Structure 1
Amino acid sequence: MSTLTIRTDAAVEHALAVLTSGGLSRSEAARAAILEAERAHRRARLRAEAEALRDDPEDVAASRQLAAEMDDASAW
């Protein structure tokens, strides 16, 4: 495990005070915040990818064609 050193300002100190008021250490609060930021970043990236696919006429047409083919196959 490595060590991370950051400079904090008044807003970060206030946020840390709120997060650590329940017994969480500053390190635990920082780790949790970094992990949550990464999850939010991943969700945003996946959302952007899904929106791009939704807005791609070729992909929409291919999806509709595949759905129609699956409907035809399930009729048998």
Structure 2
Amino acid sequence: MLTVEIDSDTEKILLELTSEGRSTTDVIREAIRIAGRLRWLEQARADAERLANDPDDLAEIREIQREFGDSDAW
């Protein structure tokens, strides 16, 4: 069981989301799942940014490019 206090703006959104027959429970479950996905995507973005700026990884990429030649040839 979960009890949540919501403000009037959130209540209006909830009423809109349930206006076509969806239950409050279903709407809240979906919102939690979406929040989880957004958090995962944000973490993936931050990881990609960190790796893109990692000097060791950048050096390795340059070395691979030197070994395989000019990638623009394709």
Give the TM bin, normalised by the shorter chain. 0.7 to 0.9
Q: Is residue 10 from structure 1 mapped to residue 19 from structure 2 by the alignment?
A: no
CA RMSD of aligned residues (A): 1.5
For normalisation by structure 1, the TM-score amounts to 0.79
The DSSP-based 3-state class of the residue aligned with 1:29 is helix
1:9 corresponds to which letter in structure 2? Answer: D
Deviation at 1:67, TM superposition (A): 4.7
Structure 2 CA distance for aligned equivalents of residues 34 and 56 of structure 1: 33
Is there any run of 5+ residues in structure 2 with no aligned partner, and where?
A: 70-74
| Structure 1 gaps, min length 5 | none
> Structure 1 CA distance, aligned partners of 2:22 and 2:64?
51
Query: For residue 54 of structure 1, what is the aligned residue in structure 2?
Result: 52
User: How far 1:16 sits from its partner (Å)?
Assistant: 0.4
Regions of 4+ moved over 6 Å: none
Measure, in 2, the Cα distance between the counterparts of 1:21 and 1:65: 58
Separation (CA, whole Å) in 2 of partners of 1:25 and 1:67: 55
Distance 2:66 2:24 in 1: 55
1:33 counterpart residue number: 31
Shift of 1:56: 1.3
Query: Which amino acid in 2 is paired with 1:35?
Result: R
Q: How many residues are aligned here?
A: 69
Alignment-derived partner of residue 63 in structure 1: 61
The one-letter code sitting in structure 1 at the alignment partner of 2:5 is R
